[in-house]
Amino acid sequence: MGRLIERITPFVVMDILSRARRMPGVIHMEVGEPDLPPSDRVREAYMKAVRDGRFFYTPATGLTELRERIADYYRRRYKVSVHPQRVIITPGTSGAFLVALSMFTDRDRRLLLPDPSYPCYRNLAYFLDSEPLVIPAGRETDYEITPEAVRETEGVGAVIVSSPSNPTGRLYRRETLRELITVSEQKGVHFISDEIYHGLVYEGKEETALRFSDDAVVINGFSKYFCMPGFRVGWMILPGQLVRKAEIVIQNIFIAANTPAQYAAVEAFDEGHLEGVRKTFRERRDFLYSALKGVFEIDAVPEGAFYIWADISRYTGDAAGFCRRLLEEKAVAVTPGMDFGSNETAHHIRFAYTRGLSELEEGVRRIREFLGL
Amino acid sequence: MGRLIERITPFVVMDILSRARRMPGVIHMEVGEPDLPPSDRVREAYMKAVRDGRFFYTPATGLTELRERIADYYRRRYKVSVHPQRVIITPGTSGAFLVALSMFTDRDRRLLLPDPSYPCYRNLAYFLDSEPLVIPAGRETDYEITPEAVRETEGVGAVIVSSPSNPTGRLYRRETLRELITVSEQKGVHFISDEIYHGLVYEGKEETALRFSDDAVVINGFSKYFCMPGFRVGWMILPGQLVRKAEIVIQNIFIAANTPAQYAAVEAFDEGHLEGVRKTFRERRDFLYSALKGVFEIDAVPEGAFYIWADISRYTGDAAGFCRRLLEEKAVAVTPGMDFGSNETAHHIRFAYTRGLSELEEGVRRIREFLGL
């Protein structure tokens, strides 16, 4: 590690969070985890696993039954065929990213990632002593990485795309996704599709990268749509020839994910419950987007995830200061854009709608007051 | 990563395990996880946390209550004072090793480790693209790393010592431990004390490295003595000035350990139950050591953990072949020495006593039959 690990930065949002936690009556519009519970079936399966003493290690690649259930989910939901042996269970998607990036990046094979994007991507590259290659994916490219950008870069080991995206809530167009995968494969670059916000889609329809190629690496997990963040269970779907390598890495760096939580996750694919989750977040998105679009400029129309990426430049160019003052003066917590990169992030903030409507309403009221509207 | 990750090797024992799992009636003397359950209090606390919906992320450094409980355990058990903020909860000890090694090793700062030792140590170094520096700790040095060996090496970032040790079951003498820590600190080398087998000690008394220095890094967890392997919860005690750095790394590579399992772990420090666990393993050690010492040469008298390191050179110099034939002909699974390094490992095998006495007795009977005794 040595040099690059020193460049891992704490999230600004974490400092805001810890300040917000010490204050009374804060409206939380900064939190990136769902407030809804998983289904009762999940909870009961978890209790049963604990009652039955399922406390031994699972295989490094995960519980067979869970891998099969996930493969089945791809068949039903996306109409793609995935052999269960290609499904690898990991300690959250964090674990999946770490294993995937360890296989695809190093000093000479860089990680191509969009700006703005989830801050852990670049920090994981630093952790692995690989210098990330950041390319713009903001307003100027309709919040997508362009296939041209991938075509033009050299020395890249993997490219990572998240759709719906954190922090913008944007979906990649089907054609862009297909073309990105094609270009990546032509160049021998691994395409990593972060699909953690799949399911939380309110406009259009999300498509798994596996629809376009079996060589795409898909990463997903139970922390968002499935409302099980503290379970720390994720998965990754790999091309068959990489499974053994990933297994060996996992044996050594994790052993396996938590065992009872894996048993619980087998019951997570409960369509009725999941559709209820989606509807709840869609209502919140509808409310918050319409309430904020008169207040800020929001050209990234939020189509999925639970975020809104708002341009505050009509008020200030200092998003961090804006967030700090908003918290101190009105007790509303939001995330400054700079956590997500440097592409126009100084005048953007990210809202999360991971709280109920009445809390969101009160948040909007305070923001309008803060701005003198 | 690039080059060194390619050198991560699968454990031979894993292949034996997977073959053993497909065979009926196998006696398992290869498994490195306890067969005993945790206390009922742990199970009830786990159920309660699930029932109460404790499904959110904990802070990256872990649940405050658990960190306090661990600090209290050090006060009671070892009579050392540890501030709870120095206790960092990790996804198993694997997670703790990964974070610690990422801070202390790189291409220019190598990991010094004993041979034989737990195979993940060297594989984690490879994962982090750091070339480990292996030094003998076999019969010739009474199964200890010597302070002289540490004194003589250069370019070392950290040294790791496990006591009781896997695979030998040996305890470091108090004086050696103290001197190793002193020499390491004089050289600016981080001393990592793997204390995962603490509690499982049957001769003498184990001492935490914190007794000798607050700058020592202690790693421990709930997978062995506490009988909670599938919980994937471990901890690490760091010098205060490293806590923030570790926190930032954990935020990015794990987020946190499983939440309900952390609540359960709060109840793990149940002295009555733990003493029962120790007694059970001591009885097995007593039986197995006395049953095997006439069959193999065992000069590493097993003092702790749940392993016996047996020299098979009176029969063969090919431990891997020995293990394979023993499994195929007599359905007894043991681990060949080569998993643990290259220092006399070709003629050693490791027994685990993680099964009940009657299974161990049957194992010994079959081994004697296999050897024509």
How does pLDDT run across B164-183, given as a tens digit for each residue? 999 999 999 999 999 999 99
Structure tokens at A7: 């460049």
Mean pLDDT of chain A: 95
Terminus-to-terminus CA distance in chain A, angstroms?
A: 50
CA atoms within 13 A on the CB side of A225: 24
C-alpha closest to that of A1 among B96, B249, B160, B235: B249
Q: What is the pLDDT of residues A24-78, one digit of tens each?
A: 999 999 989 999 999 999 999 999 999 999 999 999 999 999 999 999 999 999 9
Contact B350, B334 (CB under 8 A): yes
Contact B364, B288 (CB under 8 A): yes
Could you tell me the pLDDT band of residue A13, with boundaries at 50, 70 and 90? Answer: confident
Q: Which residues of A touch B98 (CB under 8 A)?
A: 253
Mean pLDDT of all residues in B349-372: 98
Burial of B93 (0-12, 13-18, 19+ CB in 10 A): buried
Q: Which residues of B touch A129 (CB under 8 A)?
A: 1, 106, 128-129
Mean pLDDT of all residues in B292-301: 96
Given a cut of 80, whether residue B18 has pLDDT beyond it is: no
Structure tokens at B149: 């060996």
Count the Cβ atoms, other than its own, within 10 Å of residue A299.
Answer: 13
Residues near A132 by beta carbon (within 8 Å), at least 6 away in sequence: A110, A111, A112, A113, A121, A122, A125, A126
pLDDT value at position A8?
A: 84
Q: Do A47 and B47 touch (CB under 8 A)?
A: yes
Given a cut of 50, whether residue A1 has pLDDT beyond it is: no
Q: Which residues of B touch A21 (CB under 8 A)?
A: none
Mean pLDDT of all residues in B111-116: 97
DSSP secondary structure letter of residue B24: T
DSSP secondary structure letter of residue A77: I
pLDDT value at position B1?
A: 45
> Is B1 in CB contact (< 8 Å) with chain A?
yes
Q: Do A252 and B108 touch (CB under 8 A)?
A: no
Structure tokens at B235: 């901890």
Task: Specify whether domain B4-37+271-370 bears CATH 3.90.1150.10.
Answer: yes
Which residue of A8, A252, A261 is in closest CB contact with B120? A252
Q: What is the pLDDT of residues B128-152, one digit of tens each?
A: 999 999 999 999 999 999 999 999 9
Q: Compute the distance between CA of residue A232 and CA of residue A229 in angstroms, rounded to an integer.
A: 6
> Is B122 in CB contact (< 8 Å) with chain A?
no
ipTM over 0.90: yes
Report the gap between the CA of A314 and the closest CA in chain B (Å).
33
Q: Compute the distance between CA of residue B58 and CA of residue B63 in angstroms, rounded to an integer.
A: 6
Q: Compute the distance between CA of residue A170 and CA of residue A197 in angstroms, rounded to an integer.
A: 10
pLDDT value at position B3?
A: 59
Contact B180, B47 (CB under 8 A): no
Q: Above pLDDT 70, what percent of chain B?
A: 99
Q: Do A51 and B50 touch (CB under 8 A)?
A: no
Could you tell me the pLDDT band of residue B35, with boundaries at 50, 70 and 90? Answer: very high
- Is pTM beyond 0.95? Reply is yes
> Is B282 in CB contact (< 8 Å) with chain A?
no
φ, ψ at B166 (rounded to 5°): -100, 125
Q: What is the pLDDT of residues A218-258, one digit of tens each?
A: 999 999 999 999 999 999 999 999 999 999 999 999 999 99
Report the gap between the CA of B275 and the closest CA in chain A (Å).
20
Contact A181, A191 (CB under 8 A): yes
Rg of chain B (C-alpha set): 20
**Domain-wise residue ranges, chain B:** 4-37+271-370, 40-265
pLDDT value at position B291?
A: 98
3-state helix, strand, coil in chain A (%, to 5): 45, 15, 40
Which residue of B8, B46, B50 is in closest CB contact with A249? B8
Report the gap between the CA of A100 and the closest CA in chain B (Å).
11
Q: Which residues of B touch A102 (CB under 8 A)?
A: 1, 5, 127
pLDDT value at position A213?
A: 98
Given a cut of 90, whether residue A119 has pLDDT beyond it is: yes
A-facing residues of B in 300-359 (CB < 8 A) are none
Evaluate the omega torsion of the peptide bond into residue B116 and state whether it is cis, within 30 degrees of 0.
yes
The CATH class for the domain spanning A40-265 reads alpha beta
Contact A15, A323 (CB under 8 A): no
Size of interface A-B (CB pairs under 8 A): 179
Q: Do B232 and A252 touch (CB under 8 A)?
A: no
The CA distances from residue A16 to A365, A370, B56, in Å, are: 20, 18, 18
> Is B7 in CB contact (< 8 Å) with chain A?
no
Q: Do B252 and A56 touch (CB under 8 A)?
A: no
Mean pLDDT of all residues in B278-305: 97
Helix, strand counts (H, E) of chain A: 12, 12
Given a cut of 80, whether residue A4 has pLDDT beyond it is: no
C-alpha closest to that of A163 among A127, A191, A189: A191
- DSSP for B239-267, please give it: -GGGHHHHHHHHHHHTS-S-HHHHHHHTT
Q: Which residues of A touch B92 (CB under 8 A)?
A: 254-255
Q: Which residues of B touch A54 (CB under 8 A)?
A: 230
